[in-house]
């Protein structure tokens, strides 16, 4: 690991979430000398990745947006999912999200708004602890390494009173996802919000993300129609990415690609 690069990334992560921090605040958060942090942020300011306001506080700069747009425009999973997720939103009447794993989280890289014309906010770029969302459970169920590392970590953060933080219970849920192909979460990340999601695989039989729908918990009736639509969408996107089967044949079989 290159220390200077690692520290620069750490600075950017500390400034995420619309934070504005003074140099001393950044240095304290990173446990680094002021002089070291000053050299890093000065370089990032020059590159437009960080900006400094009139009060002397630092925040993320517009250069970060350029990188994020390039990522979204070039991400193959997102590009392959565009048509299928639009169709899923129309058929289900639900908002649709596509997420990819990042460390212990799931990052939303695509979001189709609910097609009812109501006021909604796009959620592209948000990150959610994987154990607290159906998207994350769909990935964890087929990513042994990631799931093992997560289950070995205690305690897991509780997002709401209903977030599953018990390792044995979570492991049982992941086994159910492998059997059925569908992960669920009810009021686990946000109260009043439920999710159904299914894993997406690539040509190497690796799980690369998940697609899911979001609906009000009061509307979550367990109707198999929506589950089947989510599963069908995951199969279609996986096929687009070159998967020969869904899930891969080395996994417990649930729904082979036709």
Q: pLDDT band for position 17 (50/70/90)?
A: low
Q: Are residues 20 and 104 in the same domain?
A: no
pLDDT in tens, 129-152: 999 999 999 999 999 999 999 998
- Give residue 29's domain range: 3-66
Single out the residue of 179, 175, 182 nearest to residue 231, CA to CA. Answer: 182
The whole-number pLDDT of residue 70 equals: 83
Q: Is the N-terminal amide bond of 62 cis, ω within 30° of 0?
A: no
Q: Are residues 232 and 205 in the same domain?
A: yes
Provide the pLDDT for residue 171: 94
CATH of the domain at 12: 1.10.10.10
Chain segment 65-123, per-residue pLDDT in tens: 888 888 888 899 999 999 999 999 999 999 999 999 998 999 999 999 999 888 888 88
CATH number at residue 163: 3.30.450.40
Q: Are 201 and 241 in contact (CB under 8 A)?
A: yes
Average pLDDT over residues 1-22: 87
Confidence check: pLDDT of 254 > 60: no
Same domain assignment for residues 79 and 198: yes
Please write the tens of the pLDDT for every residue from 189-220. 999 999 999 999 999 999 999 999 999 887 75
Q: Looking at the domain assignment, is residue 246 inside a domain?
A: no
pLDDT at position 253 is 39
Instruction: Specify the pLDDT at position 87.
Output: 97
Q: What is the domain count for the chain?
A: 2
Which two three-digit tokens encode residue 39? 């050299």
Phi/psi of residue 175, nearest 5 degrees: -65, -40
pLDDT above 90 as % of the chain? 73
Per-residue confidence (pLDDT) for residue 236, from 0 to 100: 97
Q: Is residue 245 part of a domain?
A: no
Over 70: is that where the pLDDT of 250 sits? no
Residue the block writes with tokens 């279609």: 236
Q: Is residue 159 part of a domain?
A: yes
Are both 154 and 227 inside the same structural domain?
Answer: yes
Q: What is the CA radius of gyration of the chain?
A: 20
**pLDDT value of residue 155:** 81
Q: Give the DSSP H or E segment for 29.
A: helix 23-30
User: pTM of the full predicted structure?
Assistant: 0.81
On whether residue 256 sits in a domain, the answer given is no
137 and 154 assigned to the same domain: yes
Q: Do 40 and 106 have their domain in common? A: no
DSSP string, 147-187: HHHHHTSSSPPPSSTT----HHHHHHHHHHHHHHS-EEEES
Q: Which helix (H) or strand (E) holds 99?
A: strand 95-102
**What is the model's pLDDT at position 249?**
67
Neighbours of 139 (CB within 10 A): 27
5 pLDDT above the threshold of 80: yes
Kindly state the DSSP code that residue 46 receives in the 8-state scheme: H
Is the pLDDT score of 43 beyond 70?
yes
58 is written with which tokens? 């630092």
32 and 97 assigned to the same domain: no
């Amino acid at each position: 690991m290159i220390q200077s690069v690692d520290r620069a990334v750490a600075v950017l992560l500390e400034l995420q979430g619309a934070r504005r921090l003074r140099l001393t605040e950044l240095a304290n958060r990173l446990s680094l000398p002021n002089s070291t942090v000053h050299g890093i942020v000065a370089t990032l300011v020059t590159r437009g990745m960080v900006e400094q306001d009139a009060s002397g506080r630092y925040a993320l700069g517009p250069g970060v947006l350029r990188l994020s747009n390039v990522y979204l425009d070039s991400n193959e999973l997102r590009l392959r999912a565009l048509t299928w997720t639009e169709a899923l939103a129309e058929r289900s009447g639900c908002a649709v999200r596509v997420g990819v794993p990042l460390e212990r989280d799931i990052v939303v890289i695509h979001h189709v708004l609910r097609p009812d014309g109501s006021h909604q906010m796009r959620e592209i770029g948000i990150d959610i602890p994987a154990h607290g969302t159906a998207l994350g459970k769909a990935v964890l169920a087929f990513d042994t390494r990631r799931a093992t590392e997560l289950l070995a970590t205690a305690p897991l953060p509780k997002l709401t009173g209903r977030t599953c933080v018990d390792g044995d219970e979570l492991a049982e849920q992941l086994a159910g996802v492998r059997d059925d192909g569908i992960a669920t979460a009810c009021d686990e990340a946000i109260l009043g919000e439920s999710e159904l999601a299914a894993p997406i695989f690539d040509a190497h039989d690796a799980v690369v993300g998940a697609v899911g729908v979001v609906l009000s918990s009061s509307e979550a009736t367990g109707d198999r129609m929506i589950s089947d639509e989510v599963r069908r969408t995951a199969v279609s996107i996986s096929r687009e990415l070159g998967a020969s089967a869904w899930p891969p044949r080395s996994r417990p079989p649930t729904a082979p690609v036709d």
